[in-house]
Structure 1
Amino acid sequence: MTGVAVIGEAVADAFVSPGQGTLTLEVRPGGSPANTAVALARLGTPTRFIGRLAGGAMGTLLRDHLATSGVDLTSCVAAAERPTLAITAIDASGRAAYDFYTQGTADWLWTAEELAGRTPYDVECLHAGSLALVVEPGGPLIERALARVRPHATISLDPNVRTSLVPVTAYREALPRWARLADILRVSDEDLAHLELSAEQACATWHGYGVRLVVVTLGAQGAFASLDGARVSVPAVEVEPVDTVGAGDTFTAGLLHVLRSRGRLGGRLDTLTPDDVRAALAFGTRAAAETCKAPGADPPWAHQLA
């Protein structure tokens, strides 16, 4: 296989609708890495998801969502544990707040044997991040998998900082390790706020560790990237959002989709140019805007962006 592999969690997002003395939950597929895999596959990039997928009704929902979007699930584990649940509340601006139920759930319980047998040496890019990269026992094992794949493929990371579940100190300790592995590191303005870093500090620090391309998404202000210190920015696409769930994950998918279509993935980004980056940022923002038009993480198909 050539294409992109994504490793991480698939989460059941339960959206809250408060009532008089009641709380109604509408469960939709989610999880940052799963969202990215779905978006990549819908855009036409051959995509493999590497995750521990639970059974039961919610696990079936997640599996069907990935499969019907065209994601290759042959490297997934059929896990006995229950799925991770995120109670999701949307504010007036469309931003989500999450209350995670993660104790003993399937996504984090990788074994060394499971991952060793699923290491994707045959892809152009391996994307990882979010909670699966920081929650033990699976997080350290995923880091080792990234290190094994790095000689063969471009490494893309999205920390997706979740301080409601993981202390920010854990991210600060891990980011130097992750940056030494990553060729592409994508963060949001919210991530930087949690880390108490300016965009300039983040770019300088992570370039120093060896990251070639640092990408920062800024919501309604668009996105910018630093390619070895050369800055590129694009404006946001104006949209009336239903919510912003999955928009950042779709942006990452759009970015990787364009870089792959231009033949830039597969190594250390040695042939990547600022023009390539600008095109990838612009497409990513269009794809993210389209995602905001639908409730939950429901990325667009290629024909919707044609």
Structure 2
Amino acid sequence: MSVSPQVTVVGECVADIFAAPPGVDRSGLALRMQSGGGPANTAVGLARLGTPTRLLARLSGDLFGRTIRAHLLGSGVDLSGAVAAGEPSTLAVADIGPDGQAAYTFHATATADWQWTEAELAAAGTGRSACVHAGSLALALAPGASAVEDFLARARAHATVSIDPNVRTALVDTDVYRRRLPHWCALADILRLSEDDLRTLRPGVPPAAACDDFHRAGARLVVVTRGAGGVTISLDGRRADVPGVPVEVVDTVGAGDSFTAGLLHRLGAQGLLGGRLAAATLDAVADACRYAVRVAALTCAVPGPNPPWARQVDAMTDGAAGDMAGEAAGDAAGDAAPPAVR
């Protein structure tokens, strides 16, 4: 396969806050922070897989923002287009359930991530990128959401556009997502949703019928991730399923973002990014999804949003995600593997 072309990611960088394991002092709640936010997680995943990746983000100068910046740079993400923001960082407090799923409480009022202006995004531009990816809260929260949408509309002139709605009803009313979704489909060549997103956005609608609606609105490729159930692919109405990879789940935080990173990385390596997916076939997309499923499985094998490096994915065989968990956890403890193992 060819070298992956550059991808630009637009969106938020969030400080994910988790409860730390109980220590000697049990009189209070100990917390730990990991760098998160759907777009930032995707950018980290892409860079660690070897795709040249620019992240357009508004990074606060507070303690959380500085920690996030170091994490991104350590993973090889290009921050030359990022904005040094005066507002505070967004916080997302994660409550991990027994099944590894996270429920979030957000502290996001007037924080840095949502304040995009047309001038900031125009100054950053898309560079040489063959693909622009956006989504999550930066595409849904005012005042910056409309500026991000306009940026994607301009990017379509030369780049493939990828969107992940990453529905967060704790912050954005469901009706906002439903109203904006047809416009996002008109902007997107690739639409990635989780099964939960689909149920929220199109309740009671069979997945195949929902995919057909998204195609009619403009999205050529729709990918629905179903956790352990695998992935459903719909390319212009031609459909296929890709099975999941067994893994001992620590938590599922960032798994969907890592999947998107794996998908875009593999599509880029196949030479399919850079336009309207004209050369894409169902077999090629299925291959990309099989790779992406492995990336997501390795993310589930470690705490928090910590995507694997390319060598970990390459060393993993189908069904062997559990075998790689110890190694992945070792890299997660250090947050970023050394450059020699990228």
TM-score normalised over the length of structure 2: 0.87
Do residues 219 (structure 1) and 227 (structure 2) align?
Answer: yes
How far apart are residue 24 of structure 1 and its match? 1.8
Q: Which runs of 5+ in 1 are unaligned?
A: none
Q: Which of residues 197, 208, 217 in structure 2 aligns to 1:200?
A: 208
Post-superposition Cα deviations, 1:142-199, rounded to whole Å, max 9, x if no partner, equal: 0000001101100000000001110100000000110000000000001012111431
CA contact (8 A) 2:5 2:269 kept: no
> SS at 2:76's partner residue?
coil
Do residues 8 (structure 1) and 20 (structure 2) align?
Answer: no
Do residues 167 (structure 1) and 178 (structure 2) align?
Answer: no
CA contact (8 A) 1:224 1:281 kept: no
The corresponding residue for 1:299 is: 307
Amino acid at match of 1:271: A
> SS at 1:278's partner residue?
helix
Q: CA RMSD in A?
A: 1.3
Counterparts of 1:73 and 1:202 in 2: how far apart (Å)? 36
CA contact (8 A) 1:124 1:266 kept: yes
1:50-89 mapped onto 2 (5 Å cutoff)? 50-89=56-95
CA contact (8 A) 1:41 1:47 kept: yes
Do residues 145 (structure 1) and 145 (structure 2) align?
Answer: no
Counterparts of 1:182 and 1:110 in 2: how far apart (Å)? 20
CA contact (8 A) 2:182 2:214 kept: yes
The corresponding residue for 1:265 is: 273
Counterparts of 2:105 and 2:42 in 1: how far apart (Å)? 21
Counterparts of 2:100 and 2:146 in 1: how far apart (Å)? 33
Counterparts of 2:309 and 2:84 in 1: how far apart (Å)? 27
The corresponding residue for 2:55 is: 49
Question: CA, structure 1 residues 23+198, in 2 after alignment: closer, same or farther (shift >3 Å)?
Answer: farther
Deviates most, 196-205 or 175-184: 196-205
The corresponding residue for 2:326 is: none
CA contact (8 A) 1:232 1:277 kept: no
> SS at 1:23's partner residue?
coil
The corresponding residue for 2:34 is: 28
Counterparts of 2:34 and 2:294 in 1: how far apart (Å)? 23
Counterparts of 1:45 and 1:208 in 2: how far apart (Å)? 31
Amino acid at match of 1:71: V
CA contact (8 A) 1:50 1:118 kept: yes
How far apart are residue 21 of structure 1 and its match? 5.2
CA contact (8 A) 2:18 2:32 kept: yes
Question: CA, structure 1 residues 18+292, in 2 after alignment: closer, same or farther (shift >3 Å)?
Answer: closer
How far apart are residue 122 of structure 1 and its match? 2.2
Post-superposition Cα deviations, 1:59-93, rounded to whole Å, max 9, x if no partner, equal: 11110111010000000001011100001110000
Q: Which runs of 5+ in 2 are unaligned?
A: 315-342
Do residues 115 (structure 1) and 121 (structure 2) align?
Answer: yes
The corresponding residue for 1:287 is: 295
CA contact (8 A) 1:51 1:107 kept: yes
Deviates most, 4-13 or 54-63: 54-63
Counterparts of 1:23 and 1:88 in 2: how far apart (Å)? 13
Counterparts of 1:104 and 1:76 in 2: how far apart (Å)? 18
Counterparts of 1:24 and 1:176 in 2: how far apart (Å)? 43
Do residues 38 (structure 1) and 44 (structure 2) align?
Answer: yes
Counterparts of 2:284 and 2:75 in 1: how far apart (Å)? 26
Amino acid at match of 1:303: R
Do residues 277 (structure 1) and 285 (structure 2) align?
Answer: yes
Counterparts of 1:210 and 1:111 in 2: how far apart (Å)? 26
CA contact (8 A) 2:259 2:295 kept: yes
What percent identity do the matched residue pairs reach? 54
Do residues 102 (structure 1) and 108 (structure 2) align?
Answer: yes
How far apart are residue 13 of structure 1 and its match? 0.3
> SS at 1:120's partner residue?
coil
Counterparts of 1:248 and 1:279 in 2: how far apart (Å)? 17
How far apart are residue 56 of structure 1 and its match? 1.9
Amino acid at match of 1:294: V
How far apart are residue 2 of structure 1 and its match? 4.4
Amino acid at match of 2:72: L
